[in-house]
Amino acid sequence: MVVTIAALVIGGRTVFVATQAAILGIGALGLALVVARVGLISLGHGAFFGIGAYTSALMARDLGTPSVLGLAGGVGAAMAYGAFVGPLALRTRGLAFVMVTLAFGELARVALQQSVGLTGGDTGLSGIPRQPWAEDPRVGLVVTAAVLLATLEGARWLMATTFGRSIDAARQDESKASSLGYPVARWRTILFVISAGVTGLAGALFAHHTSFISPELLSWLTSGELLVMVLVGGALSLAGAVMGAIGLTFAEDLVTSRTDHWELVLGALLMLVVLSGWLRRGRP
Amino acid sequence: MIELDGLSKRYAGVDALHDVSLRIPAGERHAIIGPNGAGKSTLLAIVAGSVRPTSGRVRLLGQEVTGWSPDRMARLGVARTAQRSTLFPEETLLDACLLAAAGRSSGARAWQRLDGDARLVAAAQAALESTGLADRAGDRAADLSHGEARQLEIAMALAQRPRVLLADEPLAGLADSERGTIAQLLHDLDRQMTVLLVEHDLAFALGIADMMTVLDLGRVVVSGHPDHVRASDEVQRLYVGQATDGLADRPHDGADSPLALSVEGLSAGYGAARVVHEVSLAVGEGRVLALLGRNGMGKTTLLRAIMGTIEATGGTVRLAGQDLSAASTTERARAGLSLVPQGRGILSGLDVEEQLTVGQGPGDWTLESVYALFPFLRERRRQEATTLSGGEQGMLAIARGLLRNPGVLLMDEPSEGLAPRVLEQLGEVIIDLAERGQTIVLAEQNVGLTLGVADEVVVLEQGRIVHRGSARALRADAALKRQLMGL
């Protein structure tokens, strides 16, 4: 909220960056549902982000679908792919889960890259129309920030339900949770699909925000970026992931406007986060 | 109604269970007893759905449930307390019980707030109340002592309001006072509830069970009324010599042998809580020093502070004259300290031999001599260590500690969860080690075992030493013994 108001006051480029920060906040929030609550690291969320982006962009550009329907399409497509990947990936744990999600993510990227007729392949997709409410970027920011807050509240509600709390418990002791009567595998799959949908929503918003997207968006680099945001936020907190996304987006903008070495700064920051023991602290 | 029909289970070529058939009518309290490795836990795990039988069928509450998943069994109305406490460390006790209470109708409650149903909250609180944990409802499960964790395990099972309760050694690792509470709790359970209980403690099992089944080596030895079982020759044979008092009366030579380990003014704790207060003790080479005390009196903390796995807040630790007070755990291990932890610390994914050699150090103890001491380990050397029974894992942990060839072997409650016959073996092993000149510091709450094997005894209460003396003197003084153990 504070960031939004500040950005509105400053105006200009800051509004653009703040909107992007809010969008990535939604994306990181989606990933955090899996990382922080199931306790597994996914490198496939870049694909959900990209699928959401491409679906909404193509629907708007080629079909002229009303924008909200386009967003819904992006969410739906990401969830559909999540429903395909989730049950397979969730059979594994630890490193294997990382590799399976990575593989399915790259699979989606390559498939999209090859469908030149539909997606334009490597050249990417340009001329994606703005959302009608974003004609004035300041209104666009307010709407995006509202979507972020609503998503965060929704995620918090979800994790306070019996469904969410039992998934939390299963992260601590899977066999105990299932011996109490919780269908752990099925519910984790549902959460994974929801997580894919939230990240897909972020992707859909992103496409209209930048007006240009390329298959690179689906790559594991996007997953990695989202993951870093979740980690900086403390790895176990949903609000932390959002904060991490906002902080990193502004930091990146600040650093890249002065030097070319953003990755250097990011690396140092990551090391600080890991070494400071920030990740080891308990659930807030 | 529980019906087991010809159940068998094979692990890595070993028959854990062989053709077991049982009928337990609704409302019966049925105890499964037998020595370690008899297949009791396997039987319970099959009924709970967490282990699939190799062959045979399970019918429960009128349904064919063979091969059902544990969560489906729980929704049918089956609750299970595990032998080793598996809990949710980050959750408060109240939340853990709420999760337990909501699990049975998890489908209908999925999208409601977990704490949204007042009746459920009341049920969770009642479960904590009846297990004596009500005043700790807001604490995290990670902060519980071992005994309290077992109580929580039972509270969670009660919160499930089950029709069938599977209790896997509910008394294991509990101090005498806590045993009374839990035993009373199980005794007062709703008579409608069918209880299948696995237990080592014969007296407790005889007192609570309507019917009993004795297992040995995966087979039913005898099944019937407790009086019938008590009188059976087979049971007499299995449980022979369960009184561990006076295993051996070691001559008290070498009382003035050079000091192997000396501890002075050692204090330690967790966070702000100080658990061990200025404890001083010394043990001579080749001697067995026992730290006797009930649960939560600071035995484990003291051993950890000696080993350096937690930082002492004051005092010194010397090993053969060398000051280790500032040394890391690794340095202490290298200097000759080895800890056999409570719960055994068996690593998963390693077979028995890998487990043994993982921390092997140079010295008199070799793989061969350890195998000679524990022949069953040689037979099972290629078996994954976590598939051994609890008692066998205990022996494996001791063998692993020995292979480090430590100057001083620290043992933290090796008797936990052992059947009487295995307990006796454990006593013989400790005496055998002592006779070979191994210095041992043994933390125990089993008075019989301790007095049978120790040279000197130190009694801990609230983290302070309240008595020290020879085991022989304590053995002779029954009144002092009772007083020291809070009986």
| pLDDT at res. B211 | 94
CA-nearest residue of chain A to B72? A181
Same-domain pairing of B231 and B373: no
Q: How far is B202 from chain A (nearest CA, A)?
A: 27
Average pLDDT over residues B99-123: 93
Same-domain pairing of B9 and B48: yes
A261 occurs within a structural domain: no
B250 occurs within a structural domain: no
B279 occurs within a structural domain: yes
Same-domain pairing of B57 and B205: yes
* Stronger pLDDT, B162 or B477, i.e. the higher one: B162
ipTM: 0.87
B254 occurs within a structural domain: no
Contacts B82 to A, Cβ<8 Å: 176, 179
| pLDDT at res. B240 | 47
| pLDDT at res. A1 | 64
**Is residue A125 helix, strand or coil?**
strand
CATH number (domain holding residue B431): 3.40.50.300
Average pLDDT over residues A169-191: 95
A271 occurs within a structural domain: no
* Stronger pLDDT, B309 or A3, i.e. the higher one: B309
Q: Which pLDDT tens digit goes with each residue over A41-63?
A: 999 999 999 999 999 999 998 88
A237 touches chain B (CB under 8 A): no
HSE-up (13 A, CA, CB side) for residue B40: 32
Average pLDDT over residues B272-294: 87
Average pLDDT over residues A241-255: 91
A39 occurs within a structural domain: yes
Q: Is the pLDDT of residue B94 over 50?
A: yes
Contact across the interface for B106 and A166, Cβ inside 8 Å:
yes
Contact across the interface for B103 and A181, Cβ inside 8 Å:
yes
A267 occurs within a structural domain: no
Of A175, A176, A282, the CB nearest to B90: A282
CA-closest candidate to residue B304, choices B339, B262, B351 = B339
B251 occurs within a structural domain: no
| pLDDT at res. B213 | 93
Instruction: Choose the mutation target among A157, A168, A176 for the interface with B, i.e. most B CBs under 10 Å.
Output: A176
| pLDDT at res. A152 | 96
CA-nearest residue of chain A to B98? A162
Contact across the interface for A181 and B87, Cβ inside 8 Å:
no
| pLDDT at res. B86 | 64
Range of the domain at A6: 2-219
pLDDT band at B13 (very low <50, low <70, confident <90, very high): low
| pLDDT at res. B85 | 61
A123 touches chain B (CB under 8 A): no
Contact across the interface for B111 and A161, Cβ inside 8 Å:
yes
Least trusted range by pLDDT, from A17-31, A127-141, A146-160, B63-77? A127-141
Q: How far is A45 from chain B (nearest CA, A)?
A: 25
A190 occurs within a structural domain: yes
A192 touches chain B (CB under 8 A): no
Contact across the interface for A179 and B114, Cβ inside 8 Å:
no
| pLDDT at res. B36 | 65
pLDDT band at B230 (very low <50, low <70, confident <90, very high): confident
Least trusted range by pLDDT, from A265-279, B79-93, B273-287, B354-368? A265-279
Q: Is the pLDDT of residue A103 over 70?
A: yes
Same-domain pairing of B205 and B330: no
Same-domain pairing of B127 and B270: no
A187 touches chain B (CB under 8 A): yes
Range of the domain at B22: 2-238
| pLDDT at res. B245 | 44
Average pLDDT over residues B395-405: 89
B266 occurs within a structural domain: yes
Q: How far is B58 from chain A (nearest CA, A)?
A: 17
A10 touches chain B (CB under 8 A): no
Cα–Cα dist A15/A114, whole Å: 35
A14 occurs within a structural domain: yes
Q: Are the C-beta atoms of B246 and B471 separated by less than 8 Å?
A: no
**Total domains present in chain B:** 2
**Total domains present in chain A:** 1
Contacts B114 to A, Cβ<8 Å: 160-162, 165-166
Contacts A178 to B, Cβ<8 Å: 69-71, 74
